[in-house]
Structure 1
Amino acid sequence: MTITQLYYVLAVAENQNFTRAAEKCFVTQPTLSMQIQKLEEELDILIFDRSKKPIELTDVGRKIVTQARNIVNESYRIQDIVDQQKGFIGGEFKLGIIPTVMPTLLPMFLKNFIKKHPKIKLKIEELTTEEIIERLKDGHLDAAIAATPLEDENIKERVLYFEPFVGYIPKNHRLHTNKKIDVADLDISDMLLLEDGHCFRDGVINLCKAFKNQSDEQFQLESGSIETLIKLSNEGLGMTLLPYLHTLDINEKEKENLHYFNEPSPAREVSLIYHKSELKMQIIEALQDVISGVVRGAIAFQNVKIISPLPSK
C-alpha cells in the first residue's frame, strides 16, 4: 500500500470517474486504474462499485476513503515540518472567502500580502460557508475567511475582527429620523435580505428573532448582493443592514442613510478558519498577521455583541 495509491482513491471518490480523476492527478487513466486495482487486490476488497454510473464507493470503500484522507493529510505534514524548519513560507495555498467579506476585505490585504510573501501562490475562491466547510474537510481548501463561531469540531477558528451591523435606512422609512437605532426597532417585515445561503442573512434573521420581530409571512424581497439591496432600498422598498466595511465604499449621498446602533452594537465575528489537522500553519499565521494589521485601523468599534451566523433552527 502506498500514499500514491490512497491519493488516487481520493481522486476517484471525489470525481466519481476514473478518467477525470486521472486528469486531476496528471497521470494516464490506465496507470491510475492499475494502482487502485493493486490496492484492492492487496486488501482483498472492492473500494468502488464500477457497475454504477457514476462510480460509487462500496460500504467498506467509504470507510477506507475516510482513513485515506487522514493518512494523505498526515503525509503532507512531513513537508510542513521541513518548511517550518527551514523558515520557508511559500507554495500553493487555497483560500476560500464568503461573498459578504470578499469584496471589502480582499482589496484591503491582498496587495500587501503578495508583496510581503512573494513565494506564496494564493488561489482564492468565493464560496458560501457551507461549501467552505465541506472543502476544508475534503482537503480542497487550506483555509478560509468566514463568519464565526461555526461550532464544528473539525474546524479551528482564529478571530480576525468584529464587524458591526449598520442600518441602511432610506428617507421614506419610519426609522430614518432616528439618529441611532436599537435592535428592538427592527421589524423583519420591512427589511430587505440577502438570498438564502448567505450567513449574513442568517445573522440578520437571528438578530430580529432575538427580539421576536420575525414576521410569519414570507420575506417581501431578497437579493443576491449587498449592492442590489442598497439600490432597492434607495427605491423605497425597505431598509437593510450592511456589514460595516461595506459602508466605507458607498457614496456621500448614500452615507446619509446610514444609522448606527446604540451600544453594544450587534456585530459579526470574522475569522480565519482551517482544518483541525493544522497543515500549512506558517502560511495561516502569515495571513492572520497581515489581515489583522490592515483591519485594525479600519474598525475602531469595541463595545459589540456577536450575532451567530448559524441558521436558526
Structure 2
Amino acid sequence: MTITQLQYVLAVAEHKNFTLAAEKCFVTQPTLSMQIQKIEDELSILIFDRSKKPIQLTEIGQKIVNQAKNIVNEANRIKDIVEQQKGFIGGEFRLGIIPTIMPTLLPMFLNNFIKKYPKIKLIIEELNTDEIITRLKNGHLDAAIAATPLMEEKIKEVVLYFEPFVAYIPESHPTFHKSEIDVDDLNLDEILLLQDGHCFRDGILNLCKSSDLQNDTNHFRIESGSFETLIKLADEGLGTTLLPYLHTLDLPEKAKLKLRHFKEPKPAREVSLIFPKTELKIHIIDALRATIAGVIKGAIVFQNVEIISPIPKK
C-alpha cells in the first residue's frame, strides 16, 4: 500500500462519498475506487460498507482509518524535517481565526508576517470554534487563533495574550456614572448578545453564571453577529453590551466615553494559537507566534485577570 492510497481512504472516510472524495483529491472517481480496492484486496478485508448510504466504515475499516491518519501525518513530518534542516520557511499554511478576533488582530500582524516570510502562502479563513476544531482534527487547517482553554485532547494551545471584557453602557443606564464596574452590576436580561455559535457570547453567559435568556418583561430579544449592531442598539438605550478590549481601541472618542472597565481581577478571555499535537509545520507555527507576540505586547499589557471559559456551561 502507498501513502497516496491511504490519503484516498481518509478522503472517502471523511466525505462518505467516492465521487466527492475523488474531487477533493483531484483524481477521477474510477482511479480512486481502484486504488482503495487494491488496499482491500491486499488486506483481504472491506474498509467501507458500500451497501449503506452514505457509505460507512466497517469495524476494521475504522481501525485502519485511525492508523492511516498517523501514517499520513508522519509522512508529512518528513517534509517538515527536511525543510527545517534547510532553514526553509515557506509553502501553504492554512489558518483559521474566530470572528470576534479576526477583524482586530489580523490587521495588526498580517502585513509584518507576509513581509518577513514571503515564501509562505497564508490561507486564512474566518470560522467559529466548532468548525476550527473539526478542521484541525481532519487535517484541513494547520493552526488557528481562538479563545481558550478548549480542553481538546489532540489539540495544543499556546497562549498569545489575555483580552479583558469591556462594558459598553449608554448614558441612560444606572451604572453609567461608575468609573469601574463589578460583574454584579451586569444584568443578563438587558445585555445585547452575539448570536449563538460565537464563543464570546458563551463567555458572557459564563461570566453572568446563567444561561436563562428569557424575561417576560422584555419587549424584544435580539442576537446579532456584529458588535457594531450591538453598539448602535445600546446607543438607542435598548440595553448594554460587552466588547473584547481590542475592539474598543478603534471606537470613536464619543463612543469611548461609554466604555467601562471591570475592577481587578478583570474578566478576560485567553486568546491562543492552537494546532494539532502532531506539530506538523511547527516552524511556521513558531514564526506566526513570534510575529503576533511582537505586535501585541504593546497593545495588551493586562496581567491581573480572571479567565472566563469559552466553553458553554451545561
Q: Specify the TM-score bucket, using the shorter chain as the normaliser.
A: over 0.9
For 1:1-313, list aligned pairs within 5 A: 1-209=1-209, 215=212, 217=214, 220-313=221-314
Deviation of residue 216 (structure 1)?
A: 6.3
Distance 1:254 1:144 in 2: 31
- Whole-angstrom distance in 2 between the partners of 1:27 and 1:214: 48
**Are residues 157 and 52 of structure 1, via their aligned partners in 2, closer, same or farther at CA, if it must alter by over 3 Å?**
same
What SS is found at the alignment partner of 2:205? helix
Identity over aligned pairs, percent: 72
What secondary structure does 1:175 align onto? coil
Counterpart of 2:271 in structure 1: which amino acid?
A: V
1:266–1:304 CA contact under 8 A, matched in 2: yes
In terms of mean alpha carbon deviation, does 61-70 or 105-114 score higher?
61-70
In 2, Cα distance between the equivalents of 1:83 and 1:64? 29
> 8 Å contact 1:135–1:141 — kept in the other structure?
yes
**1:103 offset after TM fit, Å?**
0.6
What is the SS of the residue equivalent to 1:6?
A: helix
Q: Which amino acid aligns with 1:265?
A: K
User: Does the Cα contact within 8 Å between 2:158 and 2:273 map onto a contact in 1?
Assistant: yes
Q: Distance in 1 between matches of 2:134 and 2:297?
A: 30
Name the CA distance, whole Å, in 1 between partners of 2:211 and 2:4: 53
Q: Name the Cα RMSD after superposition.
A: 1.4
Distance 1:108 1:148 in 2: 20
Q: TM-score, normalised by structure 2?
A: 0.95
Deviation at 1:59, TM superposition (A): 2.5
* Whole-Å separation in 1 of the counterparts to 2:213 and 2:278: 43
Q: Contact 1:104–1:246 at 8 Å: present in 2 too?
A: yes
Measured after TM superposition, the shift of residue 214 of structure 1 is 6.1
Q: Distance in 2 between matches of 1:15 and 1:239?
A: 43
Gap runs ≥5 in structure 2: none
* 1:52-78 deviation line (CA, Å, top 9, x unaligned): 333222222222212211111111000
CA distance in 2, matches of 1:204, 1:24: 39
Amino acid at match of 1:273: I
Q: CA deviation at 1:125?
A: 0.6
- Contact 2:114/2:120, CA 8 A, preserved across alignment: yes
Q: Is the 8 A contact 1:189 1:214 kept in 2?
A: no
SS of the residue aligned with 1:31?
helix
Distance 1:216 1:241 in 2: 16
- SS of equivalent residue, structure 1 residue 153: coil
Structure 1 runs not aligned, ≥5 long? none
Find the aligned partners of 1:52 and 1:253 in 2 and give their Cα distance: 61
Cα deviation, residue 23, structure 1: 2.0
Check conservation: 2:188, 2:213, Cα contact below 8 A: no
SS at match of 1:271: strand
Counterpart AA for 1:270 = V
- 2:292 match: secondary structure: helix
Q: Give CA deviations for 1:180-212 in whole Å, capped at 9, x if unaligned.
A: 111121111111111111111111111111xxx
User: SS where residue 88 of structure 2 aligns?
Assistant: coil
The answer to whether the Cα contact below 8 Å between 1:13 and 1:57 also exists between their aligned partners in 2 is yes
Q: Give the conservation status (yes or no) of the 8 Å contact 1:187–1:214.
A: no
Q: Relative to structure 2, which stretch is displaced further, 72-81 or 6-15?
A: 6-15
2:178 counterpart SS class: coil
Instruction: Write the distance in 1 (CA, Å) between the matches of 2:65 and 2:81.
Output: 25
4+ long deviations beyond 4 Å: 213-216
